[in-house]
Amino acid sequence: MGFSTTLQGRSAHEALLMRQDAELRLLETMKRCMILKVRCDREYAVALSAAVTQGLKIDRSDELSGSLVVAAWRSMMEELDNTSKLIKQNADSIESKTLDALNTMYTEKRKARKQYQEEHTRIAQQFTHLSEDVTRKKVEYQKYLELYKLMRSRFEEHYVKSGRGGRKLDEVRDKYQKACRKLHLTHNEYVLLLCEATEFEKDFRTVLLPGLLEYQQSVQEGYILAWRQLLQELVQFSDFTSEKYKEIQKRIENSLESVKHTEEYNDFTEKHKTTPNDPIKFNFDDSLVEESAGKLLPNELTVDNLTVEWLRTKLSELETSIKEVQEKKATINTSNHEMLHNGKNSNSDLSCRLPIADTNKKELNELKCQERKMLKQTELIKSALNELGCEEVPSGCDLSIDNQPFISNSSEQVALSTNKTLMDEEWFHGVLPREEVVRLLTQDGDFLVRETTRNDECQTVLSVCWGGHKHFIVQTTTEGLYRFEGPAFPSIRELILYQFNGGLPVTGRSGAILYKPIPRERWELNNDDVVLLDKIGRGNFGDVYKAQLKSTGQDVAVKTCRVTLPEDHKKKFLQEGRILKQYDHPNIVKLIGICVQKQPIMIVMELVPGGSLLTFLRKNSTILTEGQLMNMCLDASAGMRYLESKNCIHRDLAARNCLVGYSNTVKISDFGMSREEEEYIVSDGMKQIPIKWTAPEALNFGKYTSLCDVWSYGILCWEIFSRGGTPYSGLSNSKAREKIDSGYRMPAPENTPDEMYRLMLRCWEYQPENRPNFEQIFTVVDTLCQAYKISFL
């Protein structure tokens, strides 16, 4: 039972200080007792010597000559004198050794008590100051937010009054930009301070405070060990040779054997134990960014022309500090290694009786906490800067009203030489995400044009493969024309054709030349080609509609992606389409196309009339036969066998993610979590993981293979034969996970064929290598279906 886990509370800290005070008072009592004992022993030795002198005053008359009694008496007096000398010698030893050691222990123990209290106060105050800094920075944030709103209001007011220009408008715009810059810098400081406070709070609770208490326990136990040695010396110098004193000595020695330094504080810690401090969460106050027009996001750094240099400077400072901390850690580790190697951990004095590594452990813990805190901030800044990529730094101030440019765009008044627009060009890919663009551009000179949104502003981007992938934002002139570095044109289409036909570099710095336009792929549909009809559901990213293709009149299902979702969510949304476009199997839902020409992004798939398998099972539970249920399991195994052959891990196989087509055909759907690889390791935590459908190795280690889907297939079969039942009913996710790890497996649903339940149990083998693959599963289920049909002939 250690200090670090049981004495973190404030009451336990106070109790530990009181315990140390009580031990100091005990040392004072022992000191007074030893001084008195030394004086008494010396007085006793003097008294014995006087008794010897008196005893040797015997009559020397001849009458007693040769008397055996006199010889015996004289001998007794000589031994009594030797006893007197031995008692005085022991008293001198107690004074010169034991008492001196006691005084030294008292001084050092007072010093250790003071050091512990100061260390505890220091790290507690450090945490308090950091918490106060967060509060102050929030107040400062609110102040600059109010200033920003005031300056924006004035700017809008002067713009309406003065029209397009004027010195007064320029002054107001300058003040507005300064207020905007100050708000953004304060925002970033607030985000980094929250990051620092979160890391320090975690380190305070899990490293610094436990480390201090662990070190203090080591110190306390070291003194108990020294204390025991001191008492043993006192006993040694008080050891007389008579049987009576031997018996007393034996009892004292026996009592001393019970003094064990490792058990000294057991009762104390049990009496005063407290639970570790609850984590304190530092959350971004979302109200601070409600009026920033979406430019400032909670817990995300803002990278724009107002903040990018500050972020780069801050990153450089953090990297320098991290290097310094790492050098200090290396020095301490080297020092510990050398002292251990040279055998310098001796017992020559009290301070060296503690393990040398404990002396440096506190400092190492603090350095590790500093390093972790700065690494977290560095990661946050690098992630923000990397997200900018090759595109130009966006503007930090929104110099527009109602999302319209202050300078009117006159390009609409310029007549084109042809009726063809940018959207009509095959090399215009709409809002196709950057990841898909990079995949399409493979050779130097390959190019396409797309649209992107930064800080609520739509921008047109020319993406080119040229020694890597480069992305150029189309610039707008004050006259409403479009250009890069060369001449300006009335339309973006004319600008791109000029660059392509002229063979000129887009920019002098990049040297990128347009050789080959990359057309839209066959599955890239135009949003206007799809007519949305009835809303039939809701997904993680948006609504699901029944729709119709204009060209063929075919009924389809359309998943839409909400326009307001962050870019990373839109990328995840398109991942399902990216995977499905290459699959063709009767038991896999078919992809028809993806609409990325404009918002909202849409995934168009075949319309499966029966809807969700889970809903279908529950609605038709009373009329479905065992043969139909068996065929559903066969359809699912056929689809998963196909995915297995394509190295696709579904990761979310369940009845809710399967659809029912004509003749009760089951189709695998919802590939939002899927990955096309033989093994996938989760690196972004276990958020939104379907615990009760997921294999143990994926939950425990984040490792996914096709054999994880086999585990989920076993749960799917259980859902089918339970006609839409809930797995592990009545158990929470954590309780179900705990029972699975201990060996529990769900019983077979009523009327489940024995062979089918045995297959489920094989799918639920704890070790993945003991599970069958989907090729084997399909063979087993197909055989069972054939046997079932024969039995009913």
Residue 478 lies in a domain: yes
Question: Within this chain, do residues 335 and 275 fall inside the same structural domain, yes or no?
Answer: no
State residue 282's pLDDT score: 81
**Is 543 annotated for ligand binding?**
yes
Question: Within this chain, do residues 309 and 292 fall inside the same structural domain, yes or no?
Answer: no
Residue 395 lies in a domain: no
State residue 365's pLDDT score: 87
For 464, the 3-state DSSP assignment is strand
Question: Within this chain, do residues 564 and 680 fall inside the same structural domain, yes or no?
Answer: no
Question: Within this chain, do residues 298 and 314 fall inside the same structural domain, yes or no?
Answer: no
State residue 529's pLDDT score: 86
Question: Within this chain, do residues 25 and 98 fall inside the same structural domain, yes or no?
Answer: yes
**Is 537 annotated for ligand binding?**
yes
- pLDDT over 50 (residue 399): no
> What is the per-residue pLDDT across 7-38, written as a single tens digit (0 to 9) for each?
888 898 999 999 999 999 999 999 999 999 99
The more confidently predicted of residues 239 and 351 is: 239
**Is 536 annotated for ligand binding?**
yes
Residue 561, phi-psi category: left (phi > 0), alpha (psi -120 to 50), beta (remainder):
beta
What rounded mean pLDDT belongs to the chain?
A: 84
Domain end (from 302, 336, 354): 302
Which amino acid appears at position 263 of this protein? E
Question: Within this chain, do residues 198 and 242 fall inside the same structural domain, yes or no?
Answer: yes
As a whole number, mean pLDDT of residues 390-406 equals: 42
Separation CA 525–CA 593 (nearest Å): 6
> What is the per-residue pLDDT across 56-70, written as a single tens digit (0 to 9) for each?
887 665 666 667 777
DSSP category for residue 470: E
**Is 539 annotated for ligand binding?**
yes
> What is the per-residue pLDDT across 605-626, written as a single tens digit (0 to 9) for each?
999 989 999 999 999 999 999 9
Residue with tokens 């707008």: 476
Active-site residue identified among 203, 652, 670, 709: 652
- pLDDT over 80 (residue 122): yes
Residue 461 lies in a domain: yes
Q: Strand locations in 506-574, DSSP E?
A: 516-517, 524-525, 530-538, 543-549, 555-560
The secondary structure of 634-689 as a DSSP string is HHHHHHHHHHHHTTEE-S--SGGGEEE-GGG-EEE---TT-EESS-EE--S--TT-
CB-CB contact of 526 with 595 (8 Å)? yes
Task: Look up the domain containing 377 and give its range.
Answer: 303-388
Is residue 239 annotated as part of the catalytic site, yes or no?
A: no
State residue 752's pLDDT score: 94
Which of 113, 350, 355 is closest to 230 using CA atoms?
350
- What is the CA 77 to chain-centroid distance, rounded? 83
- pLDDT over 60 (residue 718): yes
**Is 538 annotated for ligand binding?**
yes
**pTM score above 0.75:** no
State residue 586's pLDDT score: 94
Question: 1: pLDDT confidence band, cut at 50, 70 and 90?
Answer: low
State residue 679's pLDDT score: 55
Question: 353: pLDDT confidence band, cut at 50, 70 and 90?
Answer: very low
State residue 160's pLDDT score: 74
Instruction: Collect all residues with Cβ–Cβ distance below 8 Å to 286 and sequence separation of at least 6.
Output: 298
State residue 406's pLDDT score: 27
**Is 782 annotated for ligand binding?**
no
Residue 398 lies in a domain: no
> What is the per-residue pLDDT across 409-435, written as a single tens digit (0 to 9) for each?
333 333 333 457 888 888 998 888 787
Per cent of the chain over pLDDT 70 is 85
Q: Which residues, listed in sequence order, are joined to residue 658 by a DSSP beta bridge? A: 668
State residue 403's pLDDT score: 33
- pLDDT over 90 (residue 185): yes
State residue 155's pLDDT score: 86
Tokens of 110: 């007072």
Question: Within this chain, do residues 321 and 274 fall inside the same structural domain, yes or no?
Answer: no
> What is the per-residue pLDDT across 186-221, written as a single tens digit (0 to 9) for each?
999 999 999 999 998 898 888 998 999 899 999 999
Residue 749: give its domain's CATH number. Answer: 1.10.510.10
CB-CB contact of 462 with 392 (8 Å)? no
State residue 295's pLDDT score: 64
State residue 637's pLDDT score: 97
Domain end (from 467, 501, 517): 517
Question: Within this chain, do residues 134 and 238 fall inside the same structural domain, yes or no?
Answer: yes
As a whole number, mean pLDDT of residues 715-719 equals: 97
State residue 414's pLDDT score: 32
Residue 597: give its domain's CATH number. Answer: 3.30.200.20
Residue 399 lies in a domain: no
As a whole number, mean pLDDT of residues 300-328 equals: 86
> What is the per-residue pLDDT across 452-510, written as a single tens digit (0 to 9) for each?
876 667 889 999 999 999 999 999 988 889 999 889 999 999 999 999 999 999 998 89
Question: Within this chain, do residues 140 and 36 fall inside the same structural domain, yes or no?
Answer: yes
Question: Within this chain, do residues 601 and 617 fall inside the same structural domain, yes or no?
Answer: no
> What is the per-residue pLDDT across 514-525, written as a single tens digit (0 to 9) for each?
999 999 888 888
Residue 640 lies in a domain: yes
Separation CA 419–CA 579 (nearest Å): 36
Query: Does a cis peptide bond (omega within 30 degrees of 0) precede residue 405?
Result: no
Separation CA 476–CA 94 (nearest Å): 95
State residue 348's pLDDT score: 46
Question: Within this chain, do residues 131 and 243 fall inside the same structural domain, yes or no?
Answer: yes
Residue 433: give its domain's CATH number. Answer: 3.30.505.10
> What is the per-residue pLDDT across 130-151, written as a single tens digit (0 to 9) for each?
999 999 999 999 999 999 999 9
State residue 249's pLDDT score: 60
Residue 95: give its domain's CATH number. Answer: 1.20.1270.60
State residue 405's pLDDT score: 30
Residue 265 lies in a domain: yes
As a whole number, mean pLDDT of residues 319-326 equals: 92
State residue 685's pLDDT score: 47
> What is the per-residue pLDDT across 638-677, written as a single tens digit (0 to 9) for each?
999 999 999 999 989 999 999 999 999 999 988 767 665 5
> What is the per-residue pLDDT across 720-778, written as a single tens digit (0 to 9) for each?
999 999 999 999 999 999 999 999 999 999 999 999 999 999 999 999 999 999 999 99
**Is 542 annotated for ligand binding?**
yes
**Is 773 annotated for ligand binding?**
no
**Is 559 annotated for ligand binding?**
yes
Question: Within this chain, do residues 591 and 669 fall inside the same structural domain, yes or no?
Answer: no
**Is 540 annotated for ligand binding?**
yes
State residue 415's pLDDT score: 33
CB-CB contact of 714 with 748 (8 Å)? no
Question: Total domain count for the chain?
Answer: 5
Question: 408: pLDDT confidence band, cut at 50, 70 and 90?
Answer: very low
Phi and psi at 775, nearest 5°, equal -65, -45
Domain end (from 372, 388, 404): 388
Per cent of the chain over pLDDT 90 is 48
